[in-house]
């Protein structure tokens, strides 16, 4: 058992909050830093199913990637889903912590994990933080070992995270030597990927107009689904916290699911 503040400090070492985007809401969002913590659960997003699991399992801290609350709230009531979930968490003495874009960009964050598991070389940030440290910043890019087509890149990426229905923008047989990485909704990184000479970008999702822009620019997109592009990292984070704090029970939510389901058409 540790104090909540100790868990917050450990999470801030993994994902320094100064790396978060200015519009983001990160850090300890719900909870008393002096309270004791013995049961911790990670998740990608807090949903009613995740809340029910946290309360029933007597979780002390939920570490979520996507913040709750995200935007300022004028009131917290059961009239809204967000309000209802927050009331249930508070009533169950469940604290909430989110690193979100700080974890995306950290040295051991989600995009770096993507670069590592794809075994990229010459890894750099797409948008470096302006503090003289080239290895810190948003997004990643790197060189692929050996000739790879866009379709092969998509298949490899999807297999790594068990993505059920990856999609592509671009020619399937286009050769990719440099790839950009932007987990989640990464459409805003397309221009940087193009400027840095990347022939493809792996992300979770992108708007229709971003897909058209990528096609026109000749940059292939691998769309894995928002959930699959990030959820794996929250599972790894649970393992890391369990290793760092041997007296904590830590697990990734067992009830969380991708809300988007692929349907097989019948002919």
pLDDT (tens digit per residue) in 43-88: 999 999 999 999 999 999 999 999 999 988 899 999 999 999 999 9
Mean pLDDT score, 137-161: 95
Distance separating alpha carbons of residues 103 and 170, to the nearest angstrom: 29
pLDDT for 250 beyond 60: yes
- The full set of domains in the chain, from first to last, is 2-100+230-252 (3.40.1390.30), 107-224 (3.40.1390.30)
Is 90 exceeded by the pLDDT of residue 256?
yes
Cβ within 8 Å of residue 45, ≥6 positions away: 64, 65, 66, 256
Predicted local distance difference test score (pLDDT) of residue 73: 87
Asked whether the beta carbons of 166 and 223 are under 8 A apart, the reply is yes
* Tens of pLDDT, residues 162-198: 998 999 999 999 999 999 999 999 999 999 999 999 9
As a whole number of angstroms, the distance between CA 176 and CA 165 comes to: 21
Contact 38, 109 (CB under 8 A): no
Q: Model-level pTM greater than 0.75?
A: yes
Per-residue pLDDT, 263? 85
For the chain, percent of residues with pLDDT exceeding 70: 97
Closest Cα partner for 168 from 212, 215, 227, 220? 220
For 217-243, write each residue's pLDDT tens digit. 999 999 999 999 999 999 999 999 999
What pLDDT, in 10s, does the model give residues 107-139? 999 999 999 999 999 999 999 776 555 567 899
């Amino acid at each position: 058992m540790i104090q909540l503040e100790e868990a917050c400090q450990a999470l801030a070492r993994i994902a320094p909050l100064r790396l978060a985007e200015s519009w983001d809401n990160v850090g300890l969002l719900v909870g008393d830093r002096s309270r004791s913590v013995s049961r911790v659960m990670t998740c990608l997003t807090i949903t009613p199913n995740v809340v029910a699991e946290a309360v029933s399992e007597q979780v002390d801290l939920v570490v979520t990637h996507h913040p709750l609350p995200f935007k300022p709230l004028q009131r917290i009531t059961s009239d809204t889903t967000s309000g209802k979930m927050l009331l249930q968490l508070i009533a169950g003495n469940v604290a909430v912590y989110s690193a979100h874009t700080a974890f995306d960009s950290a040295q051991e964050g989600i995009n770096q994990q993507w670069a590592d598991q794809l075994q990229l070389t010459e890894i750099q940030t797409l948008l470096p933080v302006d503090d003289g440290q080239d290895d810190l910043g948003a997004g990643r890019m790197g060189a692929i070992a050996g000739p790879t087509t866009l379709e092969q890149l998509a298949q490899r990426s999807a297999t790594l995270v068990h993505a059920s229905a990856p999609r592509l923008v671009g020619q399937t047989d286009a050769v990719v030597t440099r790839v950009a990485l932007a987990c989640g909704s990464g459409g805003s990184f397309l221009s940087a990927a193009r400027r840095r000479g990347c022939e493809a970008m792996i992300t979770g999702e992108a708007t229709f107009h971003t897909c058209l822009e990528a096609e026109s620019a000749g940059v292939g997109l691998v769309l894995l689904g928002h959930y699959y592009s990030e959820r794996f990292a929250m599972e790894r984070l649970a393992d890391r916290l369990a290793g760092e704090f041997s007296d904590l029970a830590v697990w990734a939510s067992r009830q969380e699911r991708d809300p988007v389901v692929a349907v097989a058409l019948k002919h």
